[in-house]
């Protein structure tokens, strides 16, 4: 029997990793898939295929006053903690890095123990079973996977790498604990962008780092034929958090007073109320609809049933945004910042416009105006290419079977 154990942050609970639904459709190459959400003890938010189940594990209880004791314990008993500590000292003593490292090891150690008990309490594995361990993120879940293999003599360990879990300089401390240890102990590391792949290969010079792009399902292009010629329809889709910089969209729209714009934003988050308040200061020519959290299906249905001129993403950091893939699958052109691997999906002048990371707000306003004054022929060119580039590089039906076949073949070599 071919079994896959998948470590996530919260999926299939909540909606933070809803894009994993696309990937789950192709789990049928495994006889059984067991998902362990490390940071959620809630019920599943979606229905799962018959060969897929998820198991709750005991949540980690953080006790700050115990961290120094954990550090001493791991320092005396764990070779990888000793190596990581020496690396921190070489870079200059940082108590914040030591704290972050110890907390990550404490949580990962707890998770690996809980998962080990859950697996052992399940049906006993046969010696003929093919066991695959897959971490969706190359941070805590990946370290948990490494620790779990030491308990179970696992050799087939795979992890994706996205953005925050990949680029060390993007973390608050410019430090991701145990990155070298994780990569060294994985059979396969799969960044979702060429940019991320090049970054890790230059840093670690390891031949187990291989590009594997994400993808989205084909919902077809929009059903609406007649666009609203009176105004430009713009959509954005992201959590309302600092790095998404949604306030810059508001600032740009505030500068536009010579055309009508309808802006729809999907997504809630910690800055939702503050941003909603800011939209009330927009001109009467700007109609704003802050719809908050919606399910992935509801968002895609909206794309299919409404004509949308433009999709916006002005994040300060990204891997390759799934939100852009989804928009492009409907033939929607994109304005986005040139960060992470975004330039691999938004080709300047072909399917949208790339802005520098630290763009001037007036540049964004002018780009939006450009779409508003675009001829039908120019718009058709961008829309056609958006769909073509998505089909070529980000089609789930192509990318995910290749990914799982690669895992199986690589791990059998």
Neighbouring CB atoms inside 10 A of 102's CB total: 24
Task: For residues 241 and 210, state if they share a domain.
Answer: no
Q: Is the pLDDT of residue 225 over 60?
A: no
Expressed as residue numbers, the domain containing 23 is 2-215+396-412
Query: What is the pTM assigned to this prediction?
Result: 0.91
* Secondary structure of 126-160 in HEC code, one letter for each residue: CCCCEEEEEECCCCHHHHHHHHHHHHHCCCCEEEE
Is there a single domain that holds both residue 183 and residue 268? no
Is 319 exposed, middle or buried (CB count within 10 Å of its CB: 0-12, 13-18, 19+)?
buried
Q: What is the CATH number of the domain that holds 408?
A: 3.40.50.2000
Output the average pLDDT for the chain.
92
Residues 346 and 308 in one domain: yes
Number of domains comprising the chain: 2
Q: What is the pLDDT of residue 110?
A: 94
| 20-42: pLDDT as tens digits | 999 999 999 999 999 999 999 88
pLDDT, tens digit, 9 for 90 and up, residues 322-370: 999 999 999 999 999 999 999 999 999 999 999 999 999 999 999 999 9
Confidence of residue 68 (pLDDT cuts 50, 70, 90): confident
Same domain, 389 and 402: no
Confidence bin at 67 (pLDDT 50/70/90): confident
> Are residue 275 and residue 203 in the same domain, yes or no?
no
Does 76 map to a domain?
yes
pLDDT at 122 > cutoff 80: no
> In the prediction, which pLDDT does 347 show?
96
In a domain, 225, yes or no: no
What per-residue confidence (pLDDT) applies to 411? 59
Instruction: Place 191 in a pLDDT band, splitting at 50, 70 and 90.
Output: very high
pLDDT at site 169: 87
Poorest-pLDDT segment among 87-96, 105-114, 118-127, 255-264: 118-127
Asked whether residue 185 falls in the same domain as residue 306, the answer is no
pLDDT digits (tens, 9 = 90+) for 126-166: 567 788 999 999 999 999 999 998 888 766 899 999 999 99
304 with 330: CB under 8 angstroms? Answer: yes
Residue 224 is assigned to a structural domain of this protein = no
Tell me the CA distances in angstroms from 28 to 1, 4, 18, 192, 262, one per residue in order.
Answer: 12, 11, 19, 21, 41
Rounded to the nearest angstrom, the gap between the alpha carbon of residue 365 and the centroid of all alpha carbons in its chain is 28
Structure confidence by residue, pLDDT tens digits, 378-388: 999 999 999 99
Q: Tell me the helix, strand and coil percentages in the chain, rounded to 5.
A: 45, 15, 40
Whether residues 43 and 10 share a domain: the answer is yes
Helical packing angle, 140-152 and 95-120, nearest 10°: 50
Q: Are residues 139 and 272 in the same domain?
A: no
Phi and psi, residue 133, nearest 5° = -115, 125
The stretch 57-72 carries a mean pLDDT of 86
């Amino acid at each position: 029997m071919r079994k896959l154990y998948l470590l996530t942050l919260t999926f299939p609970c909540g909606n933070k990793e809803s894009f994993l639904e696309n990937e789950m459709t192709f789990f049928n190459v495994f006889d059984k898939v067991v998902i362990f959400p490390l940071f959620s003890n809630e019920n599943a938010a979606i229905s799962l295929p018959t060969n897929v189940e998820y198991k709750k594990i005991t949540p980690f209880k953080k006790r700050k006053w115990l961290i120094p004791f954990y550090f001493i314990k791991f320092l005396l008993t764990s070779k990888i903690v000793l190596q990581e500590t020496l690396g921190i000292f070489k870079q200059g003593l940082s108590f914040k890095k030591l704290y972050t490292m110890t907390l990550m090891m404490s949580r990962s150690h707890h998770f690996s123990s809980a998962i080990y008990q859950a697996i052992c309490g399940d049906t006993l594995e046969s010696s003929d079973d093919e066991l695959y361990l897959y971490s969706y993120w190359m941070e805590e879940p990946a370290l948990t996977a490494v620790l779990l293999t030491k308990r179970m003599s696992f050799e087939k360990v795979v992890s994706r790498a996205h953005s925050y879990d990949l680029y060390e300089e993007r973390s608050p401390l410019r430090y991701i604990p145990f990155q070298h240890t994780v990569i060294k102990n994985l059979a396969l590391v799969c960044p979702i962008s060429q940019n991320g792949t090049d970054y890790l290969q230059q840093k670690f010079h390891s031949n187990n780092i291989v590009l594997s792009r994400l993808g989205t399902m084909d919902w077809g292009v929009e059903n609406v034929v007649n666009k609203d010629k009176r105004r430009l329809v713009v959509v954005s889709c992201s959590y309302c958090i600092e790095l998404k910089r949604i306030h810059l969209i508001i600032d740009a729209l505030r500068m536009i007073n010579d055309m009508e714009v309808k802006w729809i934003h999907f997504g809630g988050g910690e800055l939702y109320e503050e941003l909603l308040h800011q939209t009330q200061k927009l001109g009467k020519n700007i109609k704003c609809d802050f719809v908050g959290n919606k399910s992935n299906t509801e968002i895609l249905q909206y794309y299919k049933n409404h004509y949308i001129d433009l999709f916006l993403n002005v994040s300060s950091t990204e891997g390759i945004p799934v939100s852009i893939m989804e928009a492009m699958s409907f033939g929607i052109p994109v304005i986005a910042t040139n960060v992470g691997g975004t330039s691999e999906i938004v080709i300047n002048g072909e399917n949208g416009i790339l802005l520098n990371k630290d763009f001037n707000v007036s540049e964004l306003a002018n780009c939006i105006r450009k779409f508003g004054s675009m001829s039908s022929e120019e718009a058709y060119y961008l829309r056609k290419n958006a769909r073509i580039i998505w089909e070529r590089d980000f089609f789930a039906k192509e990318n995910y079977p290749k990914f799982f076949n690669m895992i199986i073949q690589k791990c059998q070599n």
